[in-house]
Amino acid sequence: MEKRIKQSVGIDCGQKELVVAYGVMDDNYDVRILSNTKFSNNEKGFEKLLAWSKKLNPEAAAVSYVIEATGVYHERASLYLHEKGCGITVLLPNRSKAFMKTLSVKTVNDKVSAQMLAQFGLEKKLEYWQPPHQVYNELRQLTRERDQLMGEQTQVKNQLHAEKSGAWPNAGSVKRMKQRINFLSKQIEQIENEINAAIEKQPWLKEKIKNVCTIKGVGVITAVTVIAETNGFNLIRNKKQLVSYAGLDVITKDSGTLVKSKPRISRKGNKYLRKCLHFPALIAIRTTDHMKALFARLVSKHGIKMKGAVAVQRKLLELIYILWKKNEVYDPNYQTKKREGQPERSPLRTDLKPFLIC
């Protein structure tokens, strides 16, 4: 009898139900799907899922659970399985789609997706998911709400400008638009106060954000957004992985003599990271010598300013990651001192002003 060497449960998560598949790999490295079924996406369904999994695992061997990140619908199942001591891997949709392309699968439905996730768990080396610190969840919700309100405020301001610039502006419409702008401004201010209060409750977080904000152009909102969207870089292992997660990695399509596309960023990543780094990059280009030099070098090469600005965004993101991991402040002269042959040390600054959350 062939011996099982690995077992995995793939979970395709929807709003109301979980479609699951139980797969095994034997000592000949053959992959088989033993069972497919469905459970409700609630606590009773999670309990039945564990009971079903144990029934198919008579030897009580280790089982890996692989679930695809589907909005927020996967979060309760992931947290429940983690609290029960199960190894749970949360897979980003673009990664699961890339894996599915390697399989000889033409029909795609929930059942096939669950089988594919189970096979992924059997064939790949998994990194188990850890629930983020509560403060990261809170800050992520607040920064995303603020971003949404800022967009609404900009839209209303544009409508107000168009109304006032017309030949026959309506006084009532102008009044209501101004009221909406004031209302949105007050809500944005409330959110910023809640962000500051959340940071004040965590001294370790305040200290780390203080260090990150020593980078010119990076303010508290930018730092908090980056930290919240990455869960404090919890599962980020290097700068390359971080850049890919943000969708700032460069991709090219070059094959033979006919297919030659221009390099571009993938944009297959967290849009909030890219968005929050746009204006800090513009400030850094104006105020920081080495960022200005990087921008000028790329613009002189390609003639496209946006490429230079994106490169500065990527550099800022990497700097935030380094300072966060090392818990140090930024020294703009670090590279110069390193080239001059001084002993390599951490990029520290001593000319810091008192830090204020504002």
When pLDDT is cut at 50, 70 and 90, the band that residue 258 belongs to is low
First-last CA distance in the chain: 67
What is the pairing mode between strands 17-26 and 4-13? antiparallel
Q: What is the per-residue pLDDT for 324?
A: 95
Domain-embedded: residue 347: no
Domain-embedded: residue 349: no
- Residues 9 and 20 sit within 8 Å (Cβ to Cβ): yes
Same structural domain, 234 and 306: yes
Burial of residue 21 (number of CB atoms within 10 Å: 0-12, 13-18, 19+): buried
Average pLDDT over residues 35-49: 95
Same structural domain, 222 and 327: yes
Q: What is the per-residue pLDDT for 355?
A: 38
- Residues 26 and 116 sit within 8 Å (Cβ to Cβ): no
Same structural domain, 216 and 334: yes
User: Has this prediction a pTM greater than 0.85?
Assistant: no
Q: Can you tell me whether residue 62 is helix, strand or coil?
A: coil
Same structural domain, 195 and 77: no
Give residue for tokens 């140090």. 328
Same structural domain, 143 and 178: yes
pLDDT tens sequence across 167-199: 999 999 999 999 999 999 999 999 999 999 999
Within a 13 Å sphere around the CA of 91, how many CA atoms are in the beta-carbon half?
30
145 or 342, which is more confident: 145
Reduced to 3 DSSP states, what percent helix, strand and coil does the chain have, rounded to the nearest 5?
55, 15, 35
Q: What is the per-residue pLDDT for 183?
A: 98
Which range is most confident: 82-96, 240-254, 272-286? 272-286
End-of-domain residue from the set 69, 103, 123:
123
End-of-domain residue from the set 70, 90, 123:
123
Same structural domain, 217 and 332: yes
Same structural domain, 48 and 106: yes
Q: How many domains does the chain have?
A: 3
* Beta-carbon contacts of residue 202 (< 8 Å; ≥ 6 apart): 135
Report angle CA 151, 144, 358 to the nearest 5 degrees: 90
End-of-domain residue from the set 175, 201, 227:
201
Q: Look over the chain and give the mean of its residue pLDDT values, rounded to a whole number.
A: 88
Same structural domain, 184 and 222: no
Domain-embedded: residue 290: yes
Residue 94 has pLDDT above 60, yes or no: yes
CATH of the domain at 92: 3.30.420.40
Domain-embedded: residue 257: no
Domain-embedded: residue 140: yes
Average pLDDT over residues 261-275: 86
Same structural domain, 14 and 78: yes
Same structural domain, 112 and 151: no
Domain-embedded: residue 165: yes
Domain-embedded: residue 345: no
Q: Please count the helices (runs of H) and the strands (runs of E) in the chain.
A: 14, 9
**Residue 251, beta-bridge partner list:** 264
Same structural domain, 217 and 334: yes
Q: Using alpha carbons, list the distances in angstroms from residue 330 to 323, 340, 350.
A: 7, 18, 10
**By residue range, what is the domain housing residue 194?**
134-201
Same structural domain, 55 and 110: yes
